[in-house]
Amino acid sequence: LLHASVELRKKLIVDWIPACDLEDSSAKENPDAYKAAWKLLKGADGILVPGGFGDRGVQGKILAAKYARENKIPYLGICLGMQIAVIEYARSVLGLRDANSTEFDVNCKNPCVIFMPEGSKTHMGGTMRLGSRRTHFQVKDCKSAKLYGNKSFIDERHRHRYEVNPDMIATFENAGLSFTGKDETGQRMEIVELPNHPYYIGAQFHPEFKSRPGKPSAFFLGLIAASCRQLDTLIGNVPVKVANGVAMKKGCQNGKTKKPAKFLSGAVYGYCNGVHDEGNYCSWL
């Protein structure tokens, strides 16, 4: 987030929200924390749900994703945050109230996120899908492909055991959710996007792992720009270069070179508020 904010000359304020404070149960058990959490969430220009393991705070993260989707607030879901967006969509839009990840409910009737078939079900060690894997873009005219400079594929780093259930892809896509990035088999979902939303993107990979100062990750750049209502400027002003007969735009991270001019004039860049923490949070901005 900081890399992207510096690049776009924006002041970053990160408010960490403990996801469980957003849950209905916290309204009774800890009403002050519940009110404070919702106040922060509702004041945010953008929402990021990061990666995570285990079920603590999952319901709160689902509520945050729902809030972002329904109120058209920019949302970036990373790994678990992407799976959360998919579960939320299944519950709210497909009407599958009990949709879940088998990480949180092994016997769930509508498993929209499942244990990856090649991993061992009985051993934790060595079952994680790790490291650099290829994502192939499926849709040309989508925000995620544009942010990566309309490349046909990208390599990003992974760290997960569960994935979107391939058997449910057609159902999701018929209901308006677009899987704009898949692995080379076409069976593993890497990027999910909601086309009719200002910025609603989930990545199964971790775009933050390859972000560097001066070379921010494309999806973080997109989140910051969308949170400042300047995504069109970012995507639209990137210079066009033609390669192999296809109109290509230069990408952001993994090849970004030019800054959109508009961000340079009259922009406010201060400092990040420096808040950093770990745990089961639903965050920010």
Catalytic residues: 79, 206, 208
Find all residues with CB under 8 Å of 201, minimum gap 6, and list them.
75, 76, 77, 143, 144, 191, 192, 193, 219, 222, 223
Distance of alpha carbon 269 from alpha carbon 252, whole angstroms? 19
Are 280 and 13 contacting, i.e. CB atoms less than 8 angstroms apart?
no
Cβ distance to ligand GLN smaller for residue 80 or 235: 80
**If you ran DSSP here, which 8-state letter would residue 80 be given?**
H
Q: Least distance from C-beta 137 to ligand GLN, angstroms?
A: 22
For residue 124, how far is the Cα from the chain centroid? 25
The CB-nearest residue to ligand GLN is 51
Helix or strand run (H / E) with residue 178: strand 178-182
**In the complex, least distance from residue 162 CB atom to ligand GLN, rounded to whole angstroms:** 3
How many Cα atoms within 13 Å fall on the side-chain side of residue 48? 22
Minimum CB separation from ligand GLN for residue 156, in Å?
A: 13
Tell me how far apart the alpha carbons of residues 222 and 231 are, in angstroms, rounded to a whole number.
6
Q: Which is nearer to ligand GLN, 46 or 52 (CB)?
A: 52
Query: Residues interacting with ligand GLN, by CB under 6 A?
Result: 51-53, 79-80, 103, 159-162
Q: By C-beta, is 52 or 251 nearer to ligand GLN?
A: 52
Which run of H or E residues covers position 164?
Answer: strand 162-164
- Contact indicator for 128, 103 with CB cutoff of 8 Å: no
**Residue 177 C-beta: closest distance to ligand GLN, Å:** 18
d(CA 42, CA 15) in angstroms, rounded, equals: 11
Q: Which is nearer to ligand GLN, 263 or 284 (CB)?
A: 284
Q: Can you tell me which residue has the tokens 């004041």?
A: 43
If 0-12 CB within 10 Å is exposed, 13-18 middle and 19+ buried, where does residue 246 land? exposed
Q: Is the CB of 258 or the CB of 276 nearer to ligand GLN? A: 276
Minimum distance of ligand GLN from residue 58's CB (angstroms): 10
Residue type, 19: A
